[in-house]
Structure formats: structure tokens, C-alpha cells
Copies of this chain bind each other. A is one copy, B any other.
């Protein structure tokens, strides 16, 4: 499935190498600024093909390999799009075409300030009032939060039902009255991406803004996570490969041959190869509509840890040569163990699934 796309992969890599120069990457990282031009260019040229999931995965990997801040920004406009694609009504789905071409930016609001990984404990409430819903509450760490045109929002719609029951998804126009986004600054890494805290103050939603059926939101979002996790694995894989590119470059340029370093090279490359096989294998099930949640979670958890591990090794091996690009990789990597479910959450998913079988 992925071997056949080697031309596409090459095209993406060339694009990333051309556009994500060190100077550009540094600038957006330092200024903590979203690269609108780059995101537009990658999408409007049809460079990133959002309609083929295998291509998205490859684009994410190859772009993050060059720079994760820019690479994630360029592939994130679609963030949450799967929920619309799978469960949205026709009007909602129509937006997707604009997203594919970089004209509209999506976002997904799930996590809350007090919530973290506890999705089912969320407090944002959409109160039915006639044929409208009135949305109140807040969301935290929302990617694209301050720049999106639309946001897929998970909210509680029933006071009786607890935890993961009684949750629903809505498509919220960010220009709605009562929608407020505050950009969060001073991130450790992936600083070109936009992160925001969101407040909903009596945001009025119509019944048409409901995605799918009322009360099924938790299920929709879990379905989404089972897909998006593989893209996070792709980000992590790309970061790992980028870190290894740096190690290889350093070792070769400086003609380093000592055995301790050779062992590190072997360990890092082996772990990355394992992350790659886990990711592609899980993705190939998922993209054939036969998802294996435990394999996806394994890929995400393992690739995330590998990104951190590889970036730390790149720092160690290059040692007294604190190259800014390597530091950036190191700073970027850490988020891979945190977003779309921390490694801890993945581990619970994995063990639960694994122990279910015989």
C-alpha cells in the first residue's frame, strides 16, 4: 500500500526540502506563528492529497521529517474532518472540499481545562432550546483553535446521562457570537502550530449544526481517534527520521567511527524501523476499513516514544555542537507523547484490547 506511493513520497519530500528551509523553520518557530502561506501552498497545489488516507500519512511523515512545526501546520487544516466525512450531513460535508484545497481551516475541540485525557468527563454543555442549542463551556489546547473557520466540538447534551453517554458533536462556526479563542503561547515545540483556549458563551447553534445523531458524540470521537492516532504515529515517525537524518549527517561529516556511537546508531535505527513497521501495518488495516485499535494505539505509543528517544539521542550524539535544527527537533518531539491521548492512555487501550482476546 505504501511502497506503491514512492513517487508521491518523493514529491512531498522535495516540496518539504524546498519550502521548509532552515531559515523558514527557524523563523516560524521563534515567532510562534502559523505558516498560512505554506499551508495554503501545500494544499492549493494539490500537493497534499487529502482524499487518500495513505497519501495523507505519507505527507505527514515526510513533512515532519523536515520540520514538524511546519509539517504539522501544513497537514492540520483537515483536523477533525474525518468526523464530518463519516458522520456529517451533506451541508457539513460540502465544507470538506474547501478544506482539501486550503480555503477553509478546521479544528477539533474536545479537551477541556480540567479534563486532559478524560474525554467522558467533559463539562461543555449544549442546551436544547426549541430548535436551537445554546453552547457554554471551554476547551483547552485546541490545535488551529485561533485560526480555524469551523470547529468540531464535543459537548454534553443531556443532564441525566453521565460520562460518555449524552455527548454530542457539533460543527461550530468560529465567527459565531460568543465564540472566543485565546492563542496560547510559549510552547516547548511545534511552535508554528496554533494552539488556543476556547470559550463558548451562549453560542447559538441550529439543529443543522449537530453532527450525526444526538447522544452519539462519544462514539464519533472515539472513531475519530482511532483514525487520527495513526496520523500522530506518522508525525512521530517523521520526527524520528528527521532526528536520525541529523545523527547520520553528523556521524558522516565528522567521520565518527567509535563503537559506542555505532551502537547508538544501530539502536536508534532499529527502533525507528520498528516504529515504521508498526505504523504502516496498523495503517494498512485501518485504510482498508478493518481497523485494529490495539495496533493503532501500539503504533502511536511506540512511535511517540521513539520520536522522543531519537531526538534525545540526536542531542547526545551531536553533543557539544548544539545545532539549532537539532534542538528544534528535540523540542518538537515531546508533544508526540502527549496529544491525541497520552502514552498512558494508549497503554490502557492496548492492555484492554489485548486482554479481551484469548
Contacts and interface: CB of A to CB of B under 8 A. Distances in A.
B351 A266 contact: yes
Most chain-B CB neighbours within 10 Å: which of A248, A346, A348, A354?
A354
A262 B351 contact: yes
Contacts of A266: 298, 301, 346-351, 354
A195 to B, nearest CB: 28
Interface string A236-277: 000000000000100110000001001101110110011101
A355 interface: yes
A358 to B, nearest CB: 9
Nearest to A354: B269
A278 interface: yes
Contacts of A349: 266
B262 A347 contact: yes
B302 A270 contact: yes
Contact of A251 (B251, B281, B346, B355): B355
A263 B351 contact: yes
Given A248-B355, A262-B348, A355-B251, A298 B278 contact: no
A345 to B, nearest CB: 10
A63 interface: no
Contact of A298 (B269, B294, B351, B354): B269
Contacts of A350: 265-266, 269-270
A298 B281 contact: no
A281 B259 CA distance: 27
A66 interface: no
Most buried by B among A263, A270, A295: A270
Given A277-B274, A278-B274, A269 B302 contact: no
Contacts of A248: 354-355
A191 to B, nearest CB: 30
Given A278-B274, A295-B273, A267 B355 contact: no
B298 A355 contact: no
B298 A263 contact: no
Given A265-B354, A277-B281, A355-B248, A270 B301 contact: yes
B355 A259 contact: no
Contacts of A294: 269
A226 to B, nearest CB: 16
Interface string A331-348: 000000000000010111
A189 to B, nearest CB: 24
A275 B281 CA distance: 13
A349 B262 CA distance: 9
A314 B294 CA distance: 21
A227 B187 CA distance: 48
Contacts of A267: 347
Contacts of A281: 277
Q: Lowest 8 A-B CB distances belong to which pairs?
A: A277-B277, A266-B347, A266-B350, A274-B274, A262-B351, A265-B351, A270-B298, A266-B351
Interface of A: 248, 251-252, 259, 262-263, 265-267, 269-270, 273-275, 277-278, 281, 294-295, 298, 301-302, 344, 346-352, 354-355
13 contacts: A252-B355, A262-B352, A263-B347, A263-B351, A265-B350, A265-B351, A266-B348, A266-B349, A273-B278, A273-B298, A274-B274, A274-B277, A277-B281
